[in-house]
Amino acid sequence: MTFTFQPEDLKRDSSKKMSHQHLFPLAMEEDVKTADTKKANRALDHEKENTRSICLLEQKRKVVSSNIDVPPARKSSEELDMDKVTAAMVLTSLSTSPLVRSPPVRPNGTEGLSGSWKEGGGVPSSSSSSGYWSWSAPSDQSNPSTPSPPLSADSFKPVRSPAPQPQPDDGIDEAEASNLLFDEPIPRKRKNSMKVMFKCLWKNCGKVLSTAAGIQKHIRTIHLGRVGDSDYSDGEEDFYYTEIKLNTDSVADGLSSLAPVSPSQSLASPPTFPIPDSSRTETPCAKTETKLMTPLSRSAPTTLYLVHTDHAYQATPPVTIPGSAKFTPNGSSFSISWQSPPVTFTGIPVSPTHNHPVGTGEQRQHTHTVLSSPPRGTVSLRKPRGEGKKCRKVYGMENRDLWCTACRWKKACQRFTD
DNA sequence: GTTGCCGGGGG
DNA sequence: CCCCCGGCAAC
């Protein structure tokens, strides 16, 4: 496709050249030999590269768009059929449960198709996707097979819409779907009785209580040191406990059962929290974030929030400690006046304060600060902009290949740092 | 207008 | 990862 175009382009170029100087094609060689024209041509080529590539892209796009339409559509439809088939097959094979489905009409007709499409496709895919489908299948047993995440996300969507399952529980279905958007399947809520417990995450305290109120009170009084006003709750306790779900028969196991905690937002948690709404208004996103963290890291309120490494391009300047900001590690130059930006940057997190929250017993804002920091990261301290000449200015547009890589990528210049 | 470069996207 | 670019703010 592009081949047809490129020669054209070249021709256009050369024709332009030729028209300027000679009409003979042979003359081109001569003209290449002459020094100044050569140079000019090269520069011209460099400059042209941009426009050329643009043209190329545009043309390409046209061609592609006109051509490609058909194959994907067909493929998707095939895929879709396949998925329907497999899904149906799986469902039928799996559903040995009380409610007997009427045998699907489709698979019979299309089974041959699946066979021809891909011989392995029929059988093994059932294993891969069945793991996935098992969630909606009536059988409650946890299927050991694990689907590959990327595939599941993809194959899942097309299948769901065309073949809506006659499932009794549509509500959960939808809730589940929203979860699926984020990451791999969340362990499904067990239908048999699960007990929800609340575990204190405070360091060295693994206290488990059966009620949210209880755990909150525990945290308030024991860890936050708020003895007097037990009524007052600003939702701070939320960060120090987590809810864990237990099978009624299995006894509390701390960590393993902590993992499923994450879906708390979609599960039963809302009703179980008697926390005043007023305090929650600011926390919801923060809270979900905490829930996503691993219990271990979560269990230590003392954890410093990690210095987030910046682009490699700007090396360490933003991270440098105010006092020592005299030398950029890449060594190409030194900066004297880097003080202000780093100061504001590193200063805000108030790391010294939330270094020892336990010691005072006073409830600190540290969780809030830590959690609110990611969004604050969007507040970009733009680099003051180096006053020195950068690659672009030094070498100019035409010598772009002499620029440092960072400059070429339109990143902070590495060569002429200041 | 020009220049430096951040944030984000595509491969 | 590498490569590129839109867009923004500082010149």
pLDDT at A246: 60
Residues A89 and A105: beta-carbon distance below 8 Å: no
Evaluate if the CB of A53 falls below 7 Å from strand C: yes
pLDDT at A23: 33
DSSP assigned state of A146: -
Q: Which residue is nearest to nucleotide B2 (CA to C1')?
A: A393
Burial of A60 (0-12, 13-18, 19+ CB in 10 A): middle
DSSP per-residue letters across A342-364: HHHHHHTT-TTGGG-HHHH-PPP
pLDDT at A126: 34
* Residue A194's pLDDT band (cuts 50, 70, 90): low
pLDDT at A417: 72
- Given a cut of 50, is residue A238 above it in pLDDT? yes
Percent of chain A with pLDDT over 70: 16
Retrieve residue A296's tokens.
């271990």
Q: Which residue is nearest to nucleotide C3 (CA to C1')?
A: A409
pLDDT at A20: 34
Q: In the predicted model, what is the mean pLDDT of residues A139-149?
A: 36
Q: How far is the CA of A393 from the C1' of B1 (A)?
A: 15
- Given a cut of 50, is residue A196 above it in pLDDT? yes
Amino acid at A372: S
**Complete edge-to-edge strand list for the sheet that includes strand A208-209:** A208-209, A194-200, A241-247
pLDDT at A163: 35
Mean pLDDT score of chain A? 44
Would you list the domain boundaries of chain A? 2-68, 72-180, 194-299, 317-402
> What residues approach strand B to within 7 A at the CB?
A 311, 313-314, 378, 380, 382-383, 385-386, 389-393, 397, 407, 409-413
Q: In the predicted model, what is the mean pLDDT of residues A244-256?
A: 45
More confident residue, A214 or A368: A214
Q: In the predicted model, what is the mean pLDDT of residues A53-73?
A: 35
Q: In the predicted model, what is the mean pLDDT of residues A214-221?
A: 78
Q: In the predicted model, what is the mean pLDDT of residues A362-384?
A: 42
| C-beta neighbour count of A357 within 10 angstroms | 18
Evaluate if the CB of A46 falls below 7 Å from strand C: no
Among A349, A306, A351, A357, smallest CA distance to A203 is for A357
Q: The tokens 């694990």 sit on which residue?
A: A146
> Which residues numbered 303-332 in chain A sit less than 7 A from strand C, measured from CB?
312
Instruction: Tell me if residue A197 falls in helix, strand or coil.
Output: strand
Distance CA A357, CA A299 (A): 13
Render pLDDT for A314-361 as a digit per residue (tens, 0 to 9): 333 333 333 333 333 333 333 333 333 333 333 333 333 333 333 333
Q: How far is the CA of A382 from the C1' of B6 (A)?
A: 8
Measured over the CA atoms of residue A46, residue A51, residue A57 and residue A62, the dihedral's sign is: negative
